[in-house]
Structure 1
Amino acid sequence: MKPKKNPTKDLNKKSGLFFVLGLMLVLGLAFIALEWKSYEPKSIYDVSMNVSPSEIEEEPVEKFKIEQPKIKQILPPEIKIEEDDAEIIETEILSTEPNPDTEILEIDDIAVDEPEEEVHVNWITIEEVPIFPGCENVKDKRACFNEMMQKHIRKNFRYPELAQEMGIQGRVSTQFEIKSDGSIGTIQKRGPHKILEEEATRILSKLPKMTPGQQRGTPVKVSFSIPINFVLQ
């Protein structure tokens, strides 16, 4: 059987050559594209910068003076030279060793000074009551003291706002001390609520200094009790 095509007309014979030529052409174009360089025209540069060095204005250079740090001179301490004839007092160093000749005292022979206890007298039994400022020339100083205490409470009384909002009221029983120097000492209080107790303490802490009470001619500490009522209107 004869072939239908002419063997001399087979196009596949030179396909390898055409493939190599096409590949070389593509590689050449790619190399040219990567290595291609372009330059801008010279006319785009600013000719205004082409000036001579003499035309450039020089800015003044400021010179700063560097000050050296001041070093404080510390003088050595003055050494005082004593003359040979000067008398030098030497410190005597006592021995810590026990002396066997020292007399041992008995416990009964040692006198101990006991601190004198401050006398505390009740307001009812005190001979001369403390004098409130302003009651010095009044005959009945007890009545004057009570009257001045009531005036002091009314003057400094202030109902706590929180107690008003909470509806707290009642009586606060207080007791304070008038020391032997006339100042106000410990304040004790007892009431329906801590807020009212603190207000009572504040009022009594504002009491002025008084003339102390006396028992047998000696200033003593005197305790005084007074209730403070907090009533909502």
Structure 2
Amino acid sequence: MKPKKNPNAEIGRNSSLYFMIGLTSVLLVTWQSLEVKVYESESEISEVVQLTDDLKEDVPITEMLRTPPPPPPPSAPDVIEIVEDVVDVEETVIESTESSQETFIEDAIVNINDVEVEEVEDDVVVPFAIIEYVPVFPGCEDLKTQQERKECFNEKVQEHIKKNFTYPPTALEMHITGRVHLQFVIDSKGRVTDIQKRGPDRLLEAEAVRIIASLPQVKPGEQRGKPVSVKYSIPINFVMKE
């Protein structure tokens, strides 16, 4: 049987050549399209300002207020009567209070018995460490030496703080702890005055001031035979036990 295909008419023998020609043509067209330059056309912009001549405004209607003219001044009387002064007016003479060189001033004689002399006590504050005679706390009167009275005073203050100490409930809830430094004065009457505090929180400071303010009245300290004010310092620790 004879083949139907002509061996001389083979179509696929030049396919690679046709592929190369087609590829070259596509690349050429693509390159030409990329090289084309397009310029934007200049656009003309015209600004138009419209002016309107028909401006109509409503003019408010004003009313002129006409005030009446003031009344004429009173006319003078036809007959003028002349009244004579009946009451004599006394003139007040003001004398000068300035003194001259001719004015003599008498020396004032003061009797020494008429002068009252008041003794002014100086508010002297002496530190507790150098006071000559320390304040005597109730219960320390039988001690003889000043060193013993100082130690007794310190012990009594410590006992008073422990006895009257109360931890503030709000400070307990907030877990506030710390040391409050206190400084106060025992005046010449033996009373606690001028309490100064410094601590980590106002709750602790208020409690410390309350404890010190409740100290009993003591026998005041003495310096050179006179009662004087004595300055005393003490810290109070607020510690929470676990």
Distance 2:162 2:239 in 1: 13
**Moved >6 Å (runs of 4+):** 97-100, 110-114
- What is the CA distance between 1:118 and its match in structure 2? 1.6
Match of 2:130 in 1: 125
CA displacement 1:152-206 (0-9 Å, x = unmatched):
0001000000001111100000011100111111101100001100000000010
Match of 1:169 in 2: 177
Q: How many residues align?
A: 133
Match of 2:77 in 1: none
Match of 2:107 among 94, 98, 103: 103
Superposed counterparts of 1:30-179, under 5 Å? 101-103=105-107, 115-139=120-144, 140-179=148-187
- What is the CA distance between 1:101 and its match in structure 2? 4.1
| TM-score, normalised by the number of residues in structure 1 | 0.52
Distance 2:211 2:166 in 1: 9
Distance 1:114 1:216 in 2: 17
| TM-score, normalised by the number of residues in structure 2 | 0.50
Distance 1:114 1:213 in 2: 20
Distance 1:203 1:191 in 2: 15
CA displacement 1:22-57 (0-9 Å, x = unmatched):
xxxxxxxxxxxxxxxxxxxxxxxxxxxxxxxxxxxx
- Give 2:138's aligned amino acid: P
- Give 2:131's aligned amino acid: I
Stretches of structure 2 that go unaligned for 5 or more consecutive residues are 1-96, 110-114
Distance 2:108 2:116 in 1: 14
Distance 2:143 2:107 in 1: 63
1:221 aligns with 2:191: no
CA displacement 1:49-104 (0-9 Å, x = unmatched):
xxxxxxxxxxxxxxxxxxxxxxxxxxxxxxxxxxxxxxxxxxxxxxxx99964437
Q: 1:113 to 1:103 in 2, by over 3 A?
A: farther
Q: 1:166 to 1:147 in 2, by over 3 A?
A: same
- What is the CA distance between 1:137 and its match in structure 2? 0.4
- What is the CA distance between 1:114 and its match in structure 2? 7.9
- Give 1:121's aligned amino acid: V
Q: 1:162 to 1:100 in 2, by over 3 A?
A: farther
SS at match of 1:220: strand
Stretches of structure 1 that go unaligned for 5 or more consecutive residues are 1-96
Identity %: 51
Distance 1:214 1:148 in 2: 19
Distance 1:144 1:114 in 2: 34
SS at match of 2:153: helix
Distance 1:142 1:154 in 2: 19
Q: 1:219 to 1:171 in 2, by over 3 A?
A: same
Distance 2:108 2:205 in 1: 58
Q: Which has the higher helix share?
A: 1
Match of 1:77 in 2: none
SS at match of 1:199: helix
